[in-house]
Amino acid sequence: MSYFLVTLLAFFNTLINCSPLQVLVSVGGIFFLGFPVMAKVSAYTVAILEKSDFNPLVAMLIAILLTIIIAIGFYYLYLRVSNDSFAVIGLAAMLAVEALIISWDDLTNGLLGIPGIPRPEIANSIPSLLFVTILFALIVLVFEWLFFQTKYGRALRAMKENNISVEALGINPNKIILGIMITMAVVFSFSTSLYLWRVQFLAPSFAGLHYLILLLTIAIMAHRPKVTLLILSTVFVFYIPELLRFFPLPSAILGYSRLVIYSLLLIVLLINLSPKFITSSRKI
Amino acid sequence: MELFTQIIINSLISGTQVLLLATGLFLVYSVTRIMHVGLGAVAMILAYIVYSLLQTDLNIFMLFILFLTAALILTILTYLLLRGFINREQNLLGLLMSLTIGVFFESILSIIFGPEGRFINLFETKSYNFSEITVTNVGILTLALGICLFATGLFILRSTPEGRKLRATSSNKNLAIVLGIKTQKVIFITFFLATAIAGLVGVLKGMYTAVTPLAGLNLIIMSFIALIVGGPNDYRGTIVASYILVLIPELLISLSIDSFSLSASWKMVFVFVIATILLTLKPQGLFYSVTRNT
């Protein structure tokens, strides 16, 4: 029962994270690969503040503010560099933050990570945490669905094909991107807090390559602006590696085996979906 | 002064590794407009192949033949997976595909070899002392190979028909096709050259420090940053950026005072900060200048 609840929690957590990513990457066609930075920074902010006796909710609010600043920083970079440079700078930022976390061990406890992160009162057990997570997932999905119905949602889809026509309609495409990035920062901060309260331990490897590939695979699979497609993609991609439990694999290679599955899946998806997939084009 | 010179020499050696890999990236980018970030993982695969072959009693000639065969197989594999994206000019999706291929290769390597570092003992490492400065034979080999490759590369690009075909494909692919140049063949050869250079970098890294399955990502990101900081269409910028990005972090770490002493793991943080500053100041590349039509 406990395994089932924990898996369900992890599933909803993944679904929450994938929602803004589907909007930005799949619908907007903007390959922002720096999202693990947001997750890492917000997770470490919450963990460090909670260990310094801050109220968990206050810690989460501070993490949200810090992550919004990072989102604005990425937006600034997006305006300065080309699309492919922006994609790889995101990756570089992920490696840089990981290096910073490992190096600055006075603050982050280095390679040992941060154990014993306390839970807030509203989510002090797995069932109550599950309730909060499902509630937040519903809010995020409804918000995403509503966004797709608005003129901004339609403008985001149009941006991929013709940025100028969107501007001609009186909509600033860059403001939409900024809005999505800030929303992404808020969503990621909240979901990483939920993750921390579930696991109560933060390792420096959190939100690494595995996380990047998992979320990207789901976002690419959910390539149309449909919330149902996002849910189905998350179910499919999230539960496939659970099959590995039936094989007696050593724990040391289990993580890499999952990564092999995700990357193979992403390769197949990219080959099959790429003729229909349009990425944004713009001048800098 | 000796410490400073030693840092410069070490940075020249590491910078040459970064530059060699950036050259592979530059070549592929110039003919396909795709950032082939999977080259880092390709470098590690070839390094591990050489490491495994060294466990057997093969002579150096056979080792070289098998290295080239492995590079050719990897080229065919990556080229086939990226060909659709090249033809449809889907640069961003091509980048994502290349990254995914890299992650796939690195995961396979991690499963087979485990996460620990491996040294490639192609020959016995010796150190040479010049007053207070120490240089290893692997370091000298890296510098010598770097210079040889640049000289050969420049000669091929400027003075041979194959080089002219490559430059034509890079400059205007459609016009090159009209002129009868088999651009797909040129692209394939460029992929092979980039793969072989990447493999060489992997082997040099394994001889100089050690290789781990995930080291390719760090290496390729450094090379990629050098490429975009220098300007993706300007090779001079890539050369300068490769050495700046290695030298400044190395100086900051080595010359940090006792109470603020920094470990080597800070390197990537400094690289990112320097890259962000340079990209903010010179987003089009180090040597980019605005021109106008009169």
Residue A151 has pLDDT above 70, yes or no: yes
Chain A, nearest residue to B284 by Cα? A81
Q: What is the DSSP letter of A120?
A: P
Residue B292 has pLDDT above 70, yes or no: no
Q: What is the DSSP letter of A130?
A: H
Average pLDDT over residues A18-37: 90
Give the CA distances from residue B273 to residues A129, B155, B248, in Å, rounded to whole numbers and listed in that order. 38, 36, 11
Residue B15 parent element (H or E): helix B2-32
Residue type, A67: T
Task: Give me the residues of A, 161-220, that contact B with CB < 8 A.
Answer: 209, 213, 216, 220
Find chain A residues with C-beta within 8 A of B82's C-beta.
Answer: none
Q: How many CB atoms lie within 10 A of CB A45?
A: 22
Residue A107 has pLDDT above 70, yes or no: yes
Best residue of A94, A107, A217, A270 to probe chain B, by most B CBs closer than 10 Å: A270
Residue A188 has pLDDT above 90, yes or no: yes
Chain A, nearest residue to B115 by Cα? A252
pLDDT score of A31? 87
High-pLDDT (> 90) share of chain B, %: 41
Cβ pair B202, B218 in contact under 8 A:
no
Q: Taking CB atoms and an 8 Å limit, are B111 and A256 in contact across chains?
A: yes
Distance from CA of B238 to the nearest CA of A (A): 14
d(CA A36, CA B217): 16
Q: Per mean pLDDT, which range of A18-27, A144-153, A160-169, B268-277 is the poorest?
A: A160-169
pLDDT score of A183? 94
Find chain A residues with C-beta within 8 A of B217's C-beta.
Answer: 91, 95, 209
Paired with A114 in beta bridges are A202
Q: Which of A80, A257, A264 shows the shortest C-beta gap to B283?
A: A80
Q: Taking CB atoms and an 8 Å limit, are A103 and B217 in contact across chains?
A: no
Residue type, A175: K
Secondary structure in 3-state letters for A34-82: CHHHHHHHHHHHHHHHHHCCCCHHHHHHHHHHHHHHHHHHHHHHHHHCC
pLDDT level of residue A244 (50, 70, 90 thresholds): confident
Q: Which of A31, A102, A266 shows the shortest C-beta gap to B100?
A: A266
Q: Taking CB atoms and an 8 Å limit, are B279 and A96 in contact across chains?
A: no
- Token digits for B74? 């990897």
d(CA B11, CA A42): 35
Q: What is the DSSP letter of A26?
A: I
E strand residue ranges, chain A: 114-115, 201-202
CA-based torsion, A98, B25, B116, B128: positive or negative: negative
Best residue of A24, A31, A85 to probe chain B, by most B CBs closer than 10 Å: A85
Delimit the domains of chain A by residue range: 2-273
d(CA A248, CA A242): 13
pLDDT score of B51? 93
pLDDT level of residue A279 (50, 70, 90 thresholds): low
Cβ pair A25, A31 in contact under 8 A:
yes
What DSSP string runs through B215-253? HHHHHHHHHHHHHHHH-TT-HHHHHHHHHHHHHHHHHHH
Cβ pair B242, B18 in contact under 8 A:
yes
Q: Per mean pLDDT, which range of A20-29, A59-68, B185-194 is the poorest?
A: A20-29
Residue B101 has pLDDT above 90, yes or no: yes
Cβ pair A77, A89 in contact under 8 A:
yes
Residue B200 has pLDDT above 70, yes or no: yes
Average pLDDT, chain B: 88
CA-based torsion, B101, B104, B108, B111: positive or negative: positive
Q: Where is mean pLDDT largest: A166-175, A197-206, B261-270?
A: A197-206
Q: Which of B101, B107, B265 shows the shortest C-beta gap to A103?
A: B265
Cβ pair B47, B67 in contact under 8 A:
no
ipTM of this complex prediction, to 2 decimal places: 0.87
Phi, psi angles (nearest 5°) of residue A201:
-150, 140
Find chain B residues with C-beta within 8 A of A103's C-beta.
Answer: 262-263, 265-266, 269
Residue A29 has pLDDT above 90, yes or no: no
d(CA A24, CA A107): 32
| CATH architecture designation of domain A2-273 | Orthogonal Bundle (1.10)
- CA A171 to chain centroid, in Å, comes to 26
Task: Give me the residues of A, 68-107, that contact B with CB < 8 A.
Answer: 77, 80-81, 83-85, 87-89, 91-93, 95-96, 98-100, 102-103
d(CA B183, CA B187): 6
Q: Which of B101, B111, B265 shows the shortest C-beta gap to A99?
A: B265
Average pLDDT over residues B43-66: 92
- Token digits for A6? 């924990």
Average pLDDT over residues B112-132: 85
Distance from CA of A58 to the nearest CA of B (A): 28
Cβ pair A233, A218 in contact under 8 A:
yes
E strand residue ranges, chain B: 127-130, 133-136
Q: Which of A95, A100, A257 shows the shortest C-beta gap to B218?
A: A95
Residue A283 has pLDDT above 70, yes or no: no
Average pLDDT over residues B17-41: 91
HSE-CB of B108 using CA atoms within 13 angstroms: 15
d(CA A142, CA A185): 18
Determine the angle formed by the axes of helices B91-113 and A251-273, rounding to 10 degrees.
Answer: 160
Average pLDDT over residues A260-284: 79
Q: Taking CB atoms and an 8 Å limit, are B114 and A89 in contact across chains?
A: no
Average pLDDT over residues B283-293: 73
Question: What is the three-class DSSP state of B57?
Answer: coil
d(CA A116, CA A197): 10
pLDDT level of residue A250 (50, 70, 90 thresholds): confident
d(CA A91, CA A213): 12
Question: What is the three-class DSSP state of B130?
Answer: strand
Average pLDDT over residues A13-25: 93
Distance from CA of B269 to the nearest CA of A (A): 5
Q: Which of A92, A260, A271 shows the shortest C-beta gap to B275?
A: A92
Chain B, nearest residue to A92 by Cα? B221
